[in-house]
Structures are given as C-alpha cells and as structure tokens.
Structure 1
Amino acid sequence: MFVILKQRAKSREYRSERSSAGRVEPSVHEWKGMASLSYPPMPPILSLVVIFILVYLIDTSNACGMQLCYDRWRTAASAADNGLIKPPNGEIPACVAHRTHLVCLIAEEQNCRTNLQYQMTKRGIIHKMKNDKCYAVGDVFNASAVMDKGIIIRPNNLICTFRSKYDKTPIKYQHCGLFGDPHLRTFKDEFQTCKVEGAWSLVQNKYIMIMVTNNPVKDHGAATATSKLTVVIKKNEDCASHDFVTYRARTNYLPGTFENGRSDVGPDKSVAIQVMEPGKHVEIYLRFIDTTIRVRQIGRYFTFAIKMPQEIVEQSLGDDTQQLCVQGCPEQEQINYKKYLAEKRKIMDLNQGDIAMTSERASELCRQSQVVDFYFDSCVFDLMTTGDENFTIAAHQLLEDLTELSPDIVKTQENRTYLNYEEIHPSSGCRLKSNFIPWTCALAVLLCFLFDQRNS
C-alpha cells in the first residue's frame, strides 16, 4: 500500500514538472505505477461506504448473543435430568430443552442471520429434534414458573456444585478439542496437527485424568487417529466415589455407562454420563468441577471436546506430565500442515503424488460440511492424506461441540472457507487474528481517502 502511495506521489511530481515546462500534462488515467495497473483515484464517498460496510460486518458478527440461548438450554436440560419436565404429549423431556434452545435462537435471528456459527448451531438443534422425534411446536421451559412452585432447579443449590474462588465474577472457562488426523485445539486456543501415535494424556489434575490412544490410519502412511479414549474420575469420597470411576471407549464400542455399570455417582448425581445418541455420542458432566466432556464416534475414530473452568485448568500447569490440552504436542510430534497444503495444492492427478484426494475436491467437500478456519484446513488435510470422508463429519461435529459449549468462540473466528495460501505458505508460521484483515482493509481505504483529499 505504501509503495503504491509513494509511486502516486512521484507520478504527480513528474506531471507537475512536465506541465511547468510547457508540455501537456497527461491524464490521470494514463498513470501506471505498477505493471498493467491503471485506475482513477477512489471517490471519497466510496471510501466511506466501504469503511461503513466493514465496520458493520464486524459489529454484527460480535453482536450475535448466543450465550443466553445456551444458558437457557443448559437450565432446561438440568431440569429434564432431575425429572422436573414431563411433556404431556409423549415426548422425551430432552425435547423441551431442545425446543427452548431453538425458540431462543430464532428470537435472535435478526442479529445473527449472517453468522455462520449461529446457522450451524440452529441446524444442529433441528437435527437433534428430528432424531429424538420432537414436535416443532410445543412446550418450552420456563425456569421462573418452576421456581414459583418452590422447586429449586439451579445447579448451584445442589450438593457438590463447583463454586469459583472468585465469587463476584463470572466463571471463566477454557476449551480443548481433539479430532481427525489428529488435530488439536489446546486450552490456550493454539491449533496444532500432530502425529502422537500411541497413548497420550490430554488432561490430568487431582480430580480427573483423560487419556487417548492414536493408531495409524490403515494404508495411509503416517496418518493417525484416535481409536481409544479413557476418562478416570479420581477418588473423591465427598463428591464422586470412594474409588476410581472409569469410562473407556474403543473402536465400535461407545458405552453409555461407566465400567462399574452405573450412569452416575456421587451426591445428587454429581458425576453423570448421558447418552445423546446411542453408539455415537455421549456426554460426561462433573458438577463438582463444572466440567463437560463430549465424546463422539465417527466412522472408526473418536472426537473429544472438553469445557473446564480456568482455575481448574491452572491446577494442571505444575504437573510434569505431558498433557496435550495444556502444553500441546511436543515439537517433534507436530506436523506442519500449512507446508503440506502449500506443497500439494497444485497436484491434480492422484497418480502424480502421495495424496488420496486433490486439494480442489477436498476443499469442495469441506465447504459442504460447513467448517471454517483451522477446522477447514484440517478437514482438507485429512481428506488429502486419507481420502476418508468421515473426517469431514469429525471436523464439523468438533466445531459444533465447541460452539455449543461456548458460543463466544465464534468471536475469535474469521469464518474462512478457503485455503489462504499466503497464510499457509511454508515460510509463514503466524496465525492472523479474526478482525485483523477487515480492520487493515478499512485503514488502507481510509489512508487512500485522506491522501486523495490532501492532494486534490
């Protein structure tokens, strides 16, 4: 941009010198500051319009409030789990929670219509309602009406409910996710693609230990994916169990209970597992540390997502164990997926290289699965290295899970659905922040406008 401005200034000086010598000054349309580039100055009014549009898009993206709807769903789901919801038309109680979430989102549609994550969340709820055979029209949950009858449903009134040491401030949560070949989002919101074959720890603290085992994807070189996941709730006689409680999932086996055969332990079901979709999706909730764990089986492999209070995460920092969610993958286990995508992007014939799918075809499939940013890049990477289209579903579901667990995550995303080769060039290791590009464009346009005004 500054090179262009400098060239334009030199061009004006050159025309001024020619004019003073009695020569005919060339038209501004004849100026060529760069090869094959010719255009008049941008009209000031157009500059202002462009700036307004960019700022409007940023504001509408950040103004979409999905957290309220998620909180209403969580409250309704808690009431359903405690037997406080009894639909009169034969529906399961979860239908009321789903419908409560959907009605709230529809009410926010004016603010959220252009938000991709909003659309994904809404479609996800509609899909759940269809699977659970819920009615589109029916009861929604009214927390105040239930409380007026003297029934307390707030989780913080139950025994063994997590209470932050910062009583006067909202609880801050952190998230971690693992999916695909495998791709990792750490608690620090760092994005990595790793090899990590064998058994690895995801999270370990005095309350819980989570382990995964990654095995090679058959006939696809160095690609690995998660084939086993183990969750161990440690001894806690007050709020869990006098002994360890273990949940173990492996390929083609996603149980709906812990290994002791129970679906809950502790006072007021302070640790509980809920089957969201038999054989495909379970959710474990530990109320005494307010932690939610989601496990899905897609094809032969698993995805993992966790939401945990920041102060619980910080208790893991002093542990010497390599925890993928905390420290990330060891440097020697990381794969430069940006370099891979940049190097393989021009291969159009599968016989010409070691790819299972072309970049063009993989990008098309990943756009259809409605994934964005890192999840889009990871989806393309997995398809090119394995050719297994189940990985597109894995990327979509993991992004959906993290969005539902924390709708505020959408504020950090660019919603990019294409491979940015400038960003993923082998020499580039940085990740641009979500609003960096729009604001840079707006600033550049403003500078052009001011420069034209000064020299007009």
Structure 2
Amino acid sequence: MRNQPPIGICGRLSKMSRDPYFGCREYRSERSSTGRVPSVTYEWKEVMASLSCPPMPPILSLVVIFILVYLIDSSNACGMQLCNDRWRTAEDAAYRGLIKPRNGEDPICVAHRTHLVCLIAEGVNCKTNLQYQLAKRAVIHKMKQLGCNDVGDIFNMTNVDPRRPRLPVRDNLICTFRSRDPNKPIQYQHCGLFGDPHLRTFKDEFQTCKVEGAWSLVQNKHIVVMVTNNPVKDHVAATATSKLTVVIKKNDDCASHDFVTYKAQTNDLPGTFENGHSHAGPDESVAIRVMDPGKHVEIYLRFIDTTIRVRQIGRYFTFAMKMPQEIVGQSLDDDTQQLCVQGCPEQEQINYKKYLADRRKIIDLHQGDIAMTSERASELCRQSQVVDFYFDSCVFDLMTTGDKNFTVAAHQLLEDLTDLSPDIVKTQENRTYLEYDEIHLSSGYRIHSNFISWTCALAVFVCLLLEHATS
C-alpha cells in the first residue's frame, strides 16, 4: 500500500496540483524500519519547499486595483461631501434668520432635514457603507434630540448664489471670520475631551490622562477654555471633568467691552452666560444655544468661526470644539500648557493599552482592580456604537469605574465630532475590538497583535516579486 500524504497544506491542495495557478507539491513521509509511518514534523524549509507562488495574471492585478480604488472612493460615491456642503449652507441660513418654516418649527430642523434628505437621495446604493450609515445615523439622532419632524420643509438650494456656493450670506454680516487667503477654503481642526478623561488633540493625537485639577484646553487672544477634573473613585487614578469654563476675551468690535464668561459644573449646565445674556456682539457674533436643557449647550463665535459643544452625562461633562486652523495657530504663541494644542504632559498620560492588556483575562472581579470584566465592557461598548479610540476608551472607563454613563459619553463625543466635521469618518478604521499595541511578557519580548497579518502580507509581496523576476 502506498504511503498517504500527510494532512497539511499540500494534502489539502493535492486535488488542485494540476492547476497551473497552484504549484503545491505533495510531501510524502517515508516508512521507518518498523514499517510504521512516523509522525511528520514540518520544518520551515520543508513547508516552503512544498509551496510555490501562484502567478498573478495582469487582468487580475487590474481587478484588484479597481476594487481598491472603488473602496477608497466609496464615501464620495455616497454623496457625503455634497450633502455636508448643503447642510452647512442651510445651517448658516438658519442662524441668519433666512429660513421661515411654515409650521413654526425651529429653522435648524430645516437644515438637518435638508442634510438627511440629501443623504437618502445620494446614498441609494450605500446600505453596506459604514461611513455613510454613521453619518446618516448622526443626523437622525440630532433631529430626534431637537424634536424635528421627519417630514417638512427643506432648504431651497436654488436660492444660493452659484458664484458663492458656501455660506454666501455671511459676507453681509459684521464680524464674520474670513481666511487670510480668500481663494482657499477654511481648514478646521477639532478637539474633544470625555470620560476618564480621554483627549483628542487638534493634531488628531489620542491620549488618556490623569490631569487632576484645573487645566487649560485652549488659550489665545480670543478665548480661554479651562476644565477641572476630579477623581472618579478614591482607589483609582481615574478622573473626569466636573467643571468647565469658557472666557471670551474683550473685543470691542465683535464681542463685548468686557469679558464674557460661561461656567458649567456638576448638575448645573446653564443656558446663558454669567451676565444672563445668550448673545453678545453685533449681529449676535457670540451666541449660546440650548440644544437640550440641562444636558447640551452649544457656543458659537462667528468672528473666529469656532463652535464649542458641552454636554453633561451623568455627573461629568464632554467637550467638543471646532476651530479654524489659523486660530489654532495663534494658540501656539501662548506658553500655557494647553491640552488641545500640546496634549497632556508625559507624566500625566496613562498607558491605557497596557492596562487593558494586563487585565484582559481577569474574570473574577475580586482578583484585580477592575469594576467590570473586559469581555462585558467590550460587549456594552459595541452596543453603544463606538469605534477605534472611542471603543478602547469606553472599555477602559467601564473596567475602571463600572459607570455605564461613560459609554454614553464616548458615543456622544464621537457623534459631536462627526456632526461638526463629517470628514472625520473617513479617517476611522471602524474597529470594535480591543487592539493591544504590544504586550510585555516576562521574557522581555514584544508580541504585536498584527504580527501574523503583516507576515502573511509580506510573504505574498515577496512571492509576487519573485514571480515577476522569473517571468
């Protein structure tokens, strides 16, 4: 009886060995002197000898390139950029009082409905596009928060001057921010703070920090934003934002003859500035808007085109800011440590990935300093529809505190940044699992979570190069 090939790569592909695109050679073991077939130990050289790289026809290469280009451009195909432009124009018209809904609803509802109708019309074939679905869900959620109806008026885009498609009415207003180069669109940067706290800087760097006490987020010649963070629990290093202060500096032309201050602290999220007013400056160039009483306010400074969103979720606050790059650059002239600009000091940063890696296998809460297991926290964070850094932060907060309000905070902060700049979704991986950057073993070696994936990719690349060289 002939020896049977061992169960392995070649054994499984032996039926395809005649196919010119599969050159897997059978590897047979020899009988020992006792007549038995010894167990086969595969060494690297034997495995590599049993395989050959399949050639890639030119037409297949073109197909792969086409698929990659299609995937990269899928967000544009869903019309998200077009709809975002329409929303911005409608939103500006709403704030300027140019929209008069027939049913007496809030004009901003017309702007959001315009955005949603556009997304639905442009995204007919985008049901499986996650970026599109996240953008659409964010608009729907915003409309529900504001009590907007699904059916009603939408902004008539034909009224927009085609020579000035973006915010044409702003040129008629005093104290409207204008870029130094009128031929280039305004570039914006974003900052967000939430949870334990977790920080997204203007440079799109992600950090988890302690920063207990009072810290500056932004400070320049126009505005100062400060937060105060207090410990969440006595026995852990976790802190969260319990107080937020916004100071709009004196500006006789576009703000006020004196400082305008807004203060929020636990269980007190006012809908006005400290002076009792909801706006200041000519044409209300500084305004505060109550989105959800006691839970969500938005401050807009038109003369520097800056938006600040503050939410209270549970006992703590989330913060999101959108500011022109030119104004962010002015903050660099200040020597103060600004979390949004420079990030947290190194000694204040927490290696949250190491924390998650060290405690990922703990299932008994009495065995470690965790309030919730990694598996349970991951499940809750997936349900809250957060991704990437926001998913990691959500799991971290649940494991350290057990407070489910932090899942809401992560979700709302991600939605706020997406709403302020829908382009942010293009930078997301949409990951909903923990990714340990490196796990430190007792031997001192580092094991990267994506080592196998990169090894396989490198092997395929080498195969293609060898095939090309021999052809």
Q: Is the TM-score greater than 0.5?
A: yes
Q: Under a length normalisation based on structure 1, what TM-score does the superposition of the two structures give?
A: 0.84
Q: Of the candidates 420, 427, 442, which is equivalent to residue 435 of structure 2?
A: 420
Change (3 A) 1:266 1:392: same
Give the gaps of 5 or more residues in structure 1.
1-7, 9-24
- Distance in 2 between the 1:32 and 1:454 partners? 28
**Which amino acid is 2:291 matched to?**
M
Q: Under a length normalisation based on structure 2, what TM-score does the superposition of the two structures give?
A: 0.81
Shifted more, 83-92 versus 185-194: the winner is: 83-92
**Which amino acid is 1:381 matched to?**
F
Shift of 1:287: 0.6
Shift of 1:52: 5.6
Change (3 A) 1:154 1:199: same
Q: Of the candidates 284, 291, 298, which is equivalent to residue 276 of structure 1?
A: 291
Change (3 A) 1:325 1:347: same
Change (3 A) 1:348 1:444: same
CA contact (8 A) 2:198 2:393 kept: yes
Shift of 1:222: 1.4
Larger Rg, first or second structure (1 or 2): 2
**Which amino acid is 2:136 matched to?**
K
Shift of 1:255: 1.1
Shift of 1:246: 0.5
CA contact (8 A) 1:60 1:111 kept: no
1:218-237 equivalence runs, <5 A: 218-219=233-234, 221-237=236-252
Shift of 1:177: 0.6
CA contact (8 A) 1:181 1:194 kept: yes
- Distance in 2 between the 1:429 and 1:241 partners? 57
Change (3 A) 1:330 1:136: same
Shift of 1:318: 2.0
Change (3 A) 1:55 1:169: closer
1:65-214 equivalence runs, <5 A: 65-110=79-124, 112-145=126-159, 154-214=169-229
CA contact (8 A) 1:156 1:162 kept: no
Shift of 1:41: 4.9
CA contact (8 A) 1:179 1:303 kept: yes
**Which amino acid is 1:106 matched to?**
I
Change (3 A) 1:333 1:83: same
CA contact (8 A) 1:372 1:417 kept: yes
> Corresponding residue for 1:240?
255
User: What is the CA deviation profile of residues 178-211 of structure 1, one whole-angstrom value per residue up to 9, with x for unaligned ones?
Assistant: 0000001111111110000010000000000000
Shift of 1:429: 12
SS in 2 for 1:415: coil
Shift of 1:34: 4.5
Shift of 1:260: 0.9
Matched pairs, number:
425
Give the gaps of 5 or more residues in structure 2.
1-8, 10-23, 30-40
Q: Whose RCO is larger (CA < 8 A, sep 6+)?
A: 1
Change (3 A) 1:328 1:448: same
User: What is the CA deviation profile of residues 79-135 of structure 1, one whole-angstrom value per residue up to 9, with x for unaligned ones?
Assistant: 223332222234332221111010122133257544434322312222232343433
Change (3 A) 1:401 1:72: same
- Distance in 2 between the 1:73 and 1:194 partners? 35
- Distance in 2 between the 1:190 and 1:282 partners? 25
What is the root-mean-square deviation of aligned Cα atoms in Å? 3.3
User: What is the CA deviation profile of residues 389-432 of structure 1, one whole-angstrom value per residue up to 9, with x for unaligned ones?
Assistant: 111111111111111212222222211111122x2435889999
Shifted more, 369-378 versus 50-59: the winner is: 50-59
- Distance in 2 between the 1:346 and 1:66 partners? 41
CA contact (8 A) 2:195 2:240 kept: yes
> Corresponding residue for 2:415?
400
CA contact (8 A) 1:291 1:306 kept: yes
SS in 2 for 1:215: strand
Shift of 1:374: 1.0
User: What is the CA deviation profile of residues 256-307 of structure 1, one whole-angstrom value per residue up to 9, with x for unaligned ones?
Assistant: 1111111111011101111111111111111101111111111111111111
Shift of 1:145: 2.5
User: What is the CA deviation profile of residues 337-388 of structure 1, one whole-angstrom value per residue up to 9, with x for unaligned ones?
Assistant: 1110111111111111110111111111111111111111111111110111
Q: Of the candidates 362, 370, 384, which is equivalent to residue 399 of structure 2?
A: 384
**Which amino acid is 2:412 matched to?**
Q
> Corresponding residue for 2:338?
323
**Which amino acid is 1:87 matched to?**
P
Shifted more, 216-225 versus 156-165: the winner is: 216-225
Shifted more, 236-245 versus 278-287: the winner is: 278-287
